[in-house]
Amino acid sequence: MSCADPVWEFINEIEYSEILSSIATPDNVFVKLPVQIPLSNLTSLQLEDQIEVKTNRDTSITFSIRDISNFRNGDKGWNAANNLEEGLQTISMTAGREHFLASVITAENTFWVVANKLTDQDDYIGWVYNHSRQTPPPLNTHLIEENSRDFFSDANILALEEPTLKVSYTAKNSDGRFVFPGDETVWTISIENKFDQERKSLSLDIGGKWGEDLEFPDTSVWSNYPGNCRDASSEPYKKPNTITCEISQIEAKSTLEFTMKSKIRKQSYVGPIGFLTILLWDSEASKSYFADMNLFTPIYVDQDYLIDTDLDGVTDFNEKFLKTDPNDKNSVLEREAQIDIAVLYTSNYKSEFKIAPESLINSEINFTNEIFTGSRTGVRFNIVHTGLLDYENNCSATRCETDQTWNDTQTVLDEFGRKDKGRWRESEKVRALYGADLVIILDGASGGDETQGMAVSGGNMRGLVLPQYRTVFVHQSPNYEPYTDWKKTTLTHELGHLFSLQHSRRQDNSNGPFAWATGHGEDDNFATMMAYFDVFNATRINRFSDPSRFDCGYITLKRPCGVDRSDPLSGADAVGAIKATRFQIEQFSPSRPSLSTKSSDGKVHATKFLAGAVKDIELGFKTKFSPNDAITASGTINLAPEHVGKFGTTHIIVDAGPLGVFQINREGQYVPLDMAVPVLVGSISPRPLKGIEDLPVLNDFIAEPLGVTEATLNLYFGYTVIDLDLLVYSADPLTIQIGE
């Protein structure tokens, strides 16, 4: 395109009334105009090209192309932005075989474009529309692993309080809620006497080993305690590793405090410190009191994942994944972390939109990538699989209504996002088979669900992200009344939680060295991606907090997007936190192997074959298995664009050596293939070929029950374009070796 060519032109609505009437737009739209988008203009775009975007017949915005994406089904995406005096303005566009989708975001408005492709030419016809912005009620979108929801936290309970002895404790170390191996933790134990008279002859047992769960004595040892305390481990009726403190008396209506110190037993240990049991015995009253462990913030023993010895912006821990030298700042090549994602969608999501699910999902991820790349996080998301999730609402009566149509957010995450619980194995198998680092589940409208989206997150882990924290669930609908512009960012917000990001200092009140991994906002002006904008009475800006930038203001311009992390109370640097965790997430699951391509016409076609085999649900592709292993293997063909939509079939051939050569027919049966006179059969009935063809071969196959203890399987994949009499196939096989 030439300088600032328009992406679309306004057209006569009557001339295209038939196609325009078939395109659904939200109910709350108050302005919509018909447009025509020439595909030829889009496909000619290059990075840094200037484009003109018309938001109405009298107003247009000029953008510079910042990013171009090619999706695996042949769809294409473009992102552009500018930072003019009007403030940040962005556009995200996705063009597919059937649909064109775009969003334009300015300080004052959000505009959307949805268009259908004409059958007789490479143009799209559709609508550009906008709607008013309104502030939604606050929502809880961050589910921290292992923390149960307190249903009584906001309750006002009135009761007569009986006098008692109350025992509590707190812990403090040099690193907030984390302790480094070798560091000391200082414990403060408090005993409050609520009686009107003094209490005498009290005995306090601290830190004994009571059961099989992980407890304080399993990880730690006391290094210092007061003179009235002793090691009572060998005494009768005492638990192992018990420290007993004798307390002669506590005055009426007073509190007694004393401190103790502990260290970790083994320098190599990493993990939770375990719960500490404290029991107070009142011998005069013959009554015992346990310290309330629910009031204690757990401590985690961990290494320092934020150390950056060579000050190159990549932590030493991340340089281990990159195989670079943490002592040489020139050893790291600046590159994006490529995060592979599997996107599963429910039947609600599919029925909610009159748009091909794959193009709609590509548009969602393109929009998300605009925010991540525009925020300079060094992160890009790649879709490695999309698929329909066989799921219907399965929540308890306490959380769901009778015959409700929406899926309950927390229930879905409990079923698919909790390690070794519910239907974890199903989502984990998808993740393993397609080499996905993260799993996204998309549903339709939220209905009565108070939560728009949620992520299973490990919370503030100081730059460490554990592989089991990798699932998000999001409701999406074209008829979000009237919060469409806000809810469009929910997926990006939830993905931020998987990078350990919190909401904002005002909301989460985080502390410690990674507390700056949070959003930022200014009252009556803006709130960055993680912050709840209603808390700041502001507009959400589609950028993550970053103190090095000064382009976040929509109302008051040239405002910083964050606060330097050195500020212990207000530090907000989400971009820095993402950079500290991105290469860990990139390594969650290895990429799927690719196979070389050949064709019957000897020409080079832009077809890509991917294939792999996994053991059970283990992450990592294998070629060698035992006879008792459960083997799942499949291939995926990303077709050359010129073959998509043409009539054809796919092929799967299994060369089992001495056992014979077979091909899989459309019924999924293995039928012999005579290599002397080969006649191919299709694994599907002839039909228009899709941009992505998934070809399953083995599903939890175990060789031993069939009497097979040793075999080598070579799997080949291909497709035929019938009209062209063309066969495109994998030149190399996926090899599976079975043996002891």
* HEC readout, 511-563: CCCCCCCCECEECCCEECCCCCHHHCCCEECCCCCCCCCCCCCCCCCCCCCCE
| pLDDT higher at 403 or 583 | 583
3-state SS assignment for residue 39: helix
Nearest to 93 by CA among 102, 106, 84: 102
- Report the distance separating Cα 469 and Cα 60, nearest Å: 43
- Average pLDDT value for residue range 117-133: 85
| pLDDT higher at 629 or 122 | 629
- Average pLDDT value for residue range 263-292: 85
Class of domain 335-501+575-586: alpha beta
Query: 75-79, 367-371, 458-462: which has the minimum mean pLDDT?
Result: 458-462
- Report the distance separating Cα 669 and Cα 672, nearest Å: 10
By percentage, how much of the chain surpasses pLDDT 70? 87
Q: Which long-range contacts (CB under 8 A, 24 or more apart) does 601-604 make?
A: 601/726
- Report the distance separating Cα 117 and Cα 126, nearest Å: 9
- Is residue 154 predicted with pLDDT exceeding 80? no
Question: What is the sign of the dihedral through the CA atoms of 503, 472, 454 and 443?
Answer: positive
Q: Which long-range contacts (CB under 8 A, 24 or more apart) does 584-587 make?
A: 584/317, 584/318, 584/321, 584/464, 584/465, 585/337, 585/339, 585/437, 585/438, 585/465, 585/470, 585/498, 585/499, 586/321, 586/337, 586/338, 586/339, 586/437, 587/321, 587/437
- What's the pLDDT tens digit per position in 1-42? 445 689 999 999 999 999 999 988 877 777 889 999 999 989
- Average pLDDT value for residue range 151-156: 30
Nearest to 500 by CA among 515, 481, 489: 515
- Report the distance separating Cα 677 and Cα 2, nearest Å: 56
- Report the distance separating Cα 596 and Cα 702, nearest Å: 28
Beta strands in 118-232 (DSSP E): 123-130, 142-144, 165-172, 178-179, 184-193, 199-206, 220-224, 229-231
Position 739 scores a pLDDT of: 93
Q: Which residues contact 174 (CB under 8 A, 6 or more apart)?
A: 180, 183
Q: Which residues contact 739 (CB under 8 A, 6 or more apart)?
A: 624, 626, 627, 709, 710, 711
What is the band of 398 on the pLDDT scale with cuts at 50, 70, 90? low
Position 158 scores a pLDDT of: 35
Judge residue 491's burial from the number of C-beta atoms within 10 Å of its C-beta, 0-12 exposed, 13-18 middle, 19 or more buried. buried
Most confident stretch, 126-140, 163-177, 532-546: 532-546
- Whether 165-300 and 594-738 share one fold: the answer is yes
Paired strand residues for 56: 59
Position 49 scores a pLDDT of: 92
- Report the distance separating Cα 716 and Cα 163, nearest Å: 77
- Average pLDDT value for residue range 389-400: 73
Q: Are 504 and 531 a contacting pair, CB within 8 Å? A: yes
Which CATH fold would you assign to the domain 594-738? Answer: Immunoglobulin-like (2.60.40)
| pLDDT higher at 134 or 491 | 491
End-to-end CA distance of the chain: 61
- Is residue 183 predicted with pLDDT exceeding 60? yes
- Is residue 94 predicted with pLDDT exceeding 90? yes
Q: Which residue carries 């004994």 as its tokens?
A: 208
- Average pLDDT value for residue range 398-426: 77
Q: Are 625 and 612 a contacting pair, CB within 8 Å? A: no
Position 298 scores a pLDDT of: 64
Position 156 scores a pLDDT of: 33
- What's the pLDDT tens digit per position in 279-291? 999 999 899 999 8
3-state SS assignment for residue 401: coil
**Amino acid letter, 481:** E
Q: Rounded mean pLDDT of the chain? A: 85
Q: Are 657 and 730 a contacting pair, CB within 8 Å? A: no
Tokens of 419: 């390690």
CA angle 521, 525, 528 (to 5 degrees): 35
- Report the distance separating Cα 631 and Cα 635, nearest Å: 14
Position 212 scores a pLDDT of: 76
- Helix 574-586 × helix 490-498 angle, to 10°: 70
Q: Are 579 and 568 a contacting pair, CB within 8 Å? A: no
Which of the listed CATH numbers 3.40.50.10420, 3.30.300.30, 2.60.40.290, 2.30.30.90 matches domain 165-300? 2.60.40.290
- Is residue 205 predicted with pLDDT exceeding 90? yes
- Helix 424-434 × helix 409-416 angle, to 10°: 70
- Average pLDDT value for residue range 37-54: 92
Tokens of 587: 């390594």
- Average pLDDT value for residue range 649-671: 95
Half-sphere exposure in the Cβ direction for 252 (13 Å, CA): 5
Pairing state between β 50-56 and 5-6:
parallel
3-state SS assignment for residue 40: helix
Tokens of 207: 């830190």
- What's the pLDDT tens digit per position in 675-698? 888 899 999 999 999 999 999 999
Q: Are 64 and 58 a contacting pair, CB within 8 Å? A: no
pTM of the model: 0.82
CA-CA distances (angstroms) from residue 1 to 40, 45, 71, 241? 9, 6, 22, 76
Listed in sequence order, the DSSP H helices in 624-682 are none
Tokens of 233: 């481990």
- What's the pLDDT tens digit per position in 476-505? 665 544 334 556 788 999 999 889 898 899
Position 396 scores a pLDDT of: 67
By percentage, how much of the chain surpasses pLDDT 90? 52
Domain spans of the chain, in order of start = 9-131, 165-300, 335-501+575-586, 594-738
Tokens of 597: 């391509």
